[in-house]
Amino acid sequence: MAADILIVDDEADIRELVSGILEDEGHRTRLARDSDEALRIIEERRPQLVILDIWLQGSRLDGLEVLSVIKRTYPELPVVIISGHGNVETAVTAIKRGAYDYIEKPFKADRLVLVTLRALEASSLKREVRELKERSTVSAEMIGKSPAINQLKGAIDRLAPTNSRILIRGASGAGKELAARLLHQKSHRADGPFIVLNAASMAPDRVEEELFGTEDRSGGPRKVGALEEAHGGTLYIDEVADMPIETQGKVLRVLVEQKFQRIGGAQKVSVDVRIVSSTSRDLERDMSEGRFREDLYHRLNVVPLRVPGLPERREDIPDLIQYFVSQLAHASGLAPRRIGEDAIAVLQAHDWPGNVRELRNNIERLMILAGGDPSTVITADMLPDEIGSNVPLPVNGGAEHLMSLPLREAREIFEREYLLAQINRFGGNISRTAEFVGMERSALHRKLRALGVSSDQRGSELKIG
Ligand SMILES: Nc1ncnc2c1ncn2[C@@H]1O[C@H](COP(=O)(O)OP(=O)(O)OP(=O)(O)O)[C@@H](O)[C@H]1O
């Protein structure tokens, strides 16, 4: 894992030596000779590790004091102490104050490399645990075998290793964040952080604070912004078009200059961050109505990626159901359930305006409501009323209208709508539809003809099997 490491030592020889060893290992180093220089460098951009000498001659603060400042302002930044020979007591004090480990002078290159690696691994583990806790129920697997999802997976594999900015478009809950996460995981930045900024969920004035961070001139606590936090990794800006127009201007400047200023701060912070953003809005309309900056659109949209909505890939629904049942059983300790064929059929025919998220929430609710007996099979009659209400009947005024018709006419209308919905559900495949509805394939063809259903009505993109 290549990292950005700050080396603080008053002796030039030691600084150069440590830097040489770590750069040979593929790290990038920045060097400071005293406390002020060290704190200034940290202010410029937070490093991933600090190697800090305890004795800093001619420095305003000694090593232990610098350590305290670092731990106060950046509690998660790991610090490795270099202590003089026979100075174990000070080293122990340093560990008590939050240092990760210490190296005693004179030290061997191997020891330095090993402690550095461990410190970086521990801090990246901590971050992963935190991210996992935050998103323990978010999957990192993209389930589905439909042509639409396969196309998306192919595009992610091709785009991930490039450093290009990507704008992901798609309806809410369709899997845009999951796509962004996969782009990160399959990129060269996979060891770095994946930071999410959700512009839609916060008040406009907080967006800038979260993005750029804040600086307190008096040296008090400060907030590290998402841009700085994402250094070496990916920043995912969710619902980018929900950012206030002034913030959009500032983001544009960051993209052009690769630098930004914290709120209340004077200096420029430069970062190496890949920006992936998303939107579920009609950006073309937002741009024409002046709500979204066209110049920002062009900067963010270097490569567009579209995540298809769930109704465009109903074939994936049974796999997704299975996946969520086992994922939820694993993550929340709910008993795994079997979902009956009839329930799967209704779930597959539903329209899912909230896409995969809505499907997942419904599976969770069903698993909770099914109670403690693991042998309970979830059947169609256990589904909430709103699921399935869009299945066949709403033609010509819906069920009420049917009640006003003679049986033969009502049955015909019902049969036509029912069969069309089933054909649609099986992607136009007549053989599979016939098997499910319990008819011979040729009988189904005859029935459709008798009901006056033309091949066109069976759906323009549907394959007749
Ligand atoms: N193909 C998929 N396989 C497995 N899980 C998925 C898939 N697509 C989406 N999900 C899951 O569905 C939920 C919603 O997905 P996600 O948050 O990525 O959607 P989104 O498009 O970013 O939504 P929003 O626009 O509301 O932010 C998450 O729990 C995600 O893990």
How far is ligand 1, taken at its centre, from the CA of residue 239, in Å? 14
Backbone φ, ψ for residue 263 (5° rounding): -70, 125
Residues whose beta carbon lies within 6 Å of some atom of ligand 1: 138-139, 141-144, 170, 172-178, 238, 280, 323, 356-357, 360
* Mutation test residue for ligand 1: of 178, 183, 310, the one with most atoms within 8 Å of CB: 178
Gap from CA of 62 to ligand 1 centroid (Å)? 49
- Higher per-residue pLDDT: 370 or 254: 254
Which of 132, 317, 319, 357 is the best mutation target for the ligand 1 pocket, counting ligand atoms within 8 Å of the beta carbon and taking the most? 357
- Nearest protein CA to atom 23 of ligand 1, as residue: 173
**CA of 356 relative to ligand 1 center, distance in Å:** 6
Lowest-pLDDT range of 112-116, 205-209, 393-397: 393-397
How far is the centre of ligand 1, averaged over its atoms, from the C-alpha of 292 (Å)? 24
d(CA 316, ligand 1 centre) in Å: 14
CA-closest residue to ligand 1 atom 8:
175
CATH topology of domain 395-450: Arc Repressor Mutant, subunit A (1.10.10)
Question: How many angstroms separate the alpha carbon of residue 179 from the centre of ligand 1?
Answer: 8
The CATH class of the 150-306 domain is: alpha beta
Query: Does the pLDDT value for residue 216 go beyond 90?
Result: no
Q: What does the mean pLDDT of the chain come to?
A: 85
The C-alpha atoms of residue 147 and residue 141 are separated, in whole angstroms, by 17
CA atoms within 13 Å, Cβ hemisphere of 94: 30
In total, the chain counts a number of residues equal to 465
Q: How far is the CA of 422 from the centre of ligand 1 (A)?
A: 26
Each domain of the chain, given as residue ranges in start order, spans: 4-134, 150-306, 310-382, 395-450
Residue whose CA is closest, atom 15 of ligand 1? 175
**For domain 4-134, which architecture applies?**
3-Layer(aba) Sandwich (3.40)
Centroid of ligand 1 to alpha carbon of 234 (angstroms): 18
Which residue has its alpha carbon closest to ligand 1 atom 10? 175
**Is pLDDT of 257 > 80?**
yes
- What is the assigned CATH class of domain 310-382? mainly alpha
Q: Residue 340 burial (CB < 10 Å; 0-12/13-18/19+)?
A: middle
CA distance 287 to 348: 36
Q: Is the pLDDT of residue 394 over 80?
A: no
Which ligand 1 atom sits nearest the alpha carbon of residue 359?
12
Q: Looking at per-residue confidence, does 202 or 164 come out higher?
A: 164
Distance 176 CA to ligand 1 centre (A): 6
150-306 shares the fold of 4-134: yes
Burial of 149 (0-12, 13-18, 19+ CB in 10 A): buried
> Three-class SS string for the chain?
CCCEEEEECCCHHHHHHHHHHHHHCCCEEEEECCHHHHHHHHHHCCCCEEEEECCCCCCCCCHHHHHHHHHHHCCCCCEEEEECCCCHHHHHHHHHCCCCEEEECCCCHHHHHHHHHHHHHHHHHHHHHHHHHHCCCCCCCCCCCCHHHHHHHHHHHHHCCCCCCEEEECCCCCCHHHHHHHHHHCCCCCCCCEEEEECCCCCHHHHHHHHHEECCCCCCCCEECHHHHCCCCEEEEECHHHCCHHHHHHHHHHHHHCEEECECCCCEEECCCEEEEEECCCHHHHHHCCCCCHHHHHHHCCEEEECCCHHHHHHHHHHHHHHHHHHHHHHHCCCCCEECHHHHHHHHHCCCCCHHHHHHHHHHHHHHHCCCCCCCEECHHHCCCCCCCCCCCCHHHHHHHHHCCCHHHHHHHHHHHHHHHHHHHCCCCHHHHHHHHCCCHHHHHHHHHHCCCCCCCCCCCCCCC
Ligand 1 nearest atom to the CA of residue 181, by list position: 18
Which atom of ligand 1 lies nearest, measured to the CA of 307?
21
What is the atom index within ligand 1 of the atom nearest the CA of 140?
Answer: 31
The pLDDT of residue 395 is 46
pLDDT of residue 463: 37
**Ligand 1 centroid – CA 2 distance (Å):** 31
Closest ligand 1 atom number to CA of residue 172: 25
pTM of structure: 0.65
Q: Which residue's alpha carbon is at the smallest distance from atom 16 of ligand 1?
A: 175
Query: What's the confidence (pLDDT) of residue 126?
Result: 77
pLDDT confidence of residue 30: 96
For 402-457, what is each residue's pLDDT tens digit? 777 788 878 888 888 888 888 877 767 788 888 888 888 888 888 888 887 766 55
Residue 200 CA: which ligand 1 atom is closest? 27
Residue with the smallest CA separation from ligand 1 atom 25 is 172
Note the pLDDT tens digit of each residue in 361-376. Answer: 889 888 888 776 778 8
Percentage, residues of the chain above pLDDT 70: 90
Separation of CA 296 and ligand 1 centre (Å): 25
How many Cβ atoms from other residues are within 10 Å of residue 407's Cβ? Answer: 8
User: What gap in Å lies between CA 390 and CA 366, rounded to an integer?
Assistant: 19
Question: Residue 285 pLDDT > 50, yes or no?
Answer: yes
Q: What is the pLDDT of residue 399?
A: 64
Instruction: List the single range of 304-308, 354-358, 407-411 with lowest mean pLDDT.
Output: 407-411
Mutation test residue for ligand 1: of 141, 328, 355, 356, the one with most atoms within 8 Å of CB = 356
Residue located via tokens 């896409």: 355
146 CA distance to ligand 1 centroid (A)? 16
Greater confidence, 202 or 380?
380
Mutate which of 139, 305, 326 for ligand 1? The one with the most ligand atoms within 8 Å of its CB, which is 139
Q: Regarding predicted confidence, which is higher, 216 or 149? A: 149
Distance 381 CA to ligand 1 centre (A): 27
Cis peptide before 106 (omega within 30 of 0): yes
